[in-house]
Structure 1
Amino acid sequence: MTDGRIGLARKGAVLTVTNNDPATRNALGWEFYDGFREIVEEAADDPRTRAIVLTGAGGFFCSGGNVAVLAERAKASHAVRRASVEKLHGMIRAMRACPKPIVAAIEGGAAGAGVSMALACDLIVAARDAYLSVAYVRIGLTPDGGATAMLARALPRALVAEMVMTGDRVSVERLHPLGLVNRLTNPGAALAEAEALAARLADGPPEALAAGKSLISEAAEAPFDTQLNSEAAAIAEALGGAEAAEGIAAFLEKRKPRW
């Protein structure tokens, strides 16, 4: 089904969300920030949804902030400008906090805040001819949406500096060997591959996946010993739960687990 600016489609336990404004190459704005955040927060509590795929209409993932809108916003007060950024950041926080895995399907490219949105997903599937461009500097701006935090944790400093300071397009074929992109596909096939990957995740144990996502987020900041304690607490809790009981029984009985 579709809901105007944001398209929704369900295949079993996988919810595919389409950023649907091809005329602007799916530029971002308040309507999308609020709408996608609401979808993610509802999906977090919806047992029908076990994984989310995020893609863009018209063969392009997302061009970032609408420059025409930014030109108008530049005339507003600092408080209004800051409130706009917080809309984006609220959406990014919701994506990172969501216990369900989110998979980005990138065709064409992602620029500006579109890069931040892609990085906020848990996994990235991209067509081989796609690119990422942290394009802010080209119009005299600095990154937002967590781009510098996520890139700095994933890539060598020199490459992050190149992306942030030049705004140049960096091909996903360059980023894939570095681990930023999980899967490469032929052009036009990213969505199908992302949905297949999401379906595989949706077939897994939801509580264990949610706990794993939380541990990954904590690990970026936590001291090693603190992370060991978090892992110990998580696995001790999981071992006494229904998912572990089913998973262990299925392994011993040589059958597929029923989550």
Structure 2
Amino acid sequence: MSRVPTHREGRVLHIVNNAPEQRNAFGLDFYDGMIPAIESASSDDVGAVVISGAGGFFCAGGDVRRLAVAHKEPYAARRHGVDRLHEMIRAIRACPRPVIAAVEGGAVGAGASLAAACDLIVASKDAYFMLAYVKIGITPDGGATWSFARALPRQFATEMALTGGRVAAARLHQLGMVNRLADDPLAEALIWAGELAAGPPDAMTGIKRMIGAAEEAAFEAQLEMEADGIANALAGSEGIEGATAFVEKREARFHRK
């Protein structure tokens, strides 16, 4: 089977991190499959994306066996793998469709960064997250220090990074970083993705863009973005259909065949 197999379930694109014998640790072959898979979600017939790991484990992060010999490589070679990881993280953040991480088992190191880069997280009740980099004497990558510091209280994110200890998904759910806990996170994520995929794609793309901008934008700039967005959306096909359906007391049909 492919290193990064994809499946379509209606308008939902399901992407699988498929190296269970390595607890789905990253390698260049993963990025080579993952990046184009994520970029394909900009297609009009994709409404939402789910990312999961094979074999009941989301992702163990970087392959430590490769990291252990990285000191023998020149700086450019050491940077290459990280740059590919960051290209993947940017692709997820830039994806116009909602991306849901379905986390089973563990999300460790860059695996935690991958989950945090997604728009939404559904985790199993016994799952855990670890920013384990410090355990092997290195610093985080994959946007971990950015994502966790914004999603969590600064002191808690600092504790995670400095200790590298396990944090239960239930704890991150209490703090709002994990959206849902489920007995079967993949099934729950696919159902949720199907519901999102039935919604208005242009509006959702705009919402993702605004939420992303809000992390850096000044208040007045955010108000301007919102004003421009809604003024255009009200005259767009989705806005017209949504408002008309509400007045007519029927379900909106955002995806006419």
2:66 maps to 1:69 = yes
User: What is the distance in 2 between the residues matched to 1:206 and 1:248?
Assistant: 16
DSSP 3-state at the match of 1:10: strand
The count of residues paired between Structure 1 and Structure 2 equals: 254
Identity, % of aligned pairs? 54
DSSP-derived class of the 2:16 partner: strand
Counterparts of 1:41-120 in structure 2, within 5 Å, are 41-44=39-42, 46-120=43-117
Q: 2:134·2:162 contact (CA, 8 Å) conserved in 1? A: yes
Task: Give 5+ residue unaligned stretches, structure 1.
Answer: none
Partner residue in 1 for 2:142: 145
| Counterpart for residue 238 of structure 2 | 243
Contact residue 41 and residue 96 of structure 2 kept, 8 A: no
Specify the alignment match of 2:121 in structure 1.
Answer: 124
Q: Tell me, which stretches of 5 or more residues in structure 2 are unaligned?
A: none
- Is it true that 1:190 corresponds to 2:185 in the alignment? yes
Name the structure 1 match of 2:5: 7
Query: Which secondary structure state, in structure 2, belongs to the residue aligned with residue 118 of structure 1?
Result: helix
The equivalent of 2:153 in structure 1 is 156
Amino acid at match of 2:222: Q
Write the distance in 1 (CA, Å) between the matches of 2:99 and 2:126.
Answer: 22
* Contact 1:34/1:91 (8 A) holds in 2: no
- What residue in structure 1 maps to residue 207 of structure 2? 212
Displacement after TM superposition at 1:49 (Å): 1.1
Name 1:233's counterpart in structure 2. 228
TM-score by length of 2: 0.97
Task: Tell me whether 1:257 sits opposite 2:252 in the alignment.
Answer: yes
Q: After the TM superposition, which segments of 4 or more aligned residues of structure 1 sit over 3 Å from their partners?
A: none
Q: Structure 2: how far apart are the matches of 1:241 and 1:177? A: 38
Task: Choose 200-209 or 4-13, whichever is displaced more.
Answer: 4-13
Residue 209 of structure 2 aligns with an amino acid whose one-letter code is S
Q: Deviations over 1:121-150 (max 9, x none)?
A: 100000010000000000001000100101
Partner of 1:38: 36
Residues 74-99 of structure 1, C-alpha deviation per residue, up to 9 Å, x if partnerless? 21111111121110000000100010
User: Which secondary structure does the structure 2 equivalent of 1:222 belong to?
Assistant: coil
Quote how far apart the aligned CAs of 1:34 are.
Answer: 2.2
Q: Give the residue type in structure 1 aligned to 2:133.
A: Y
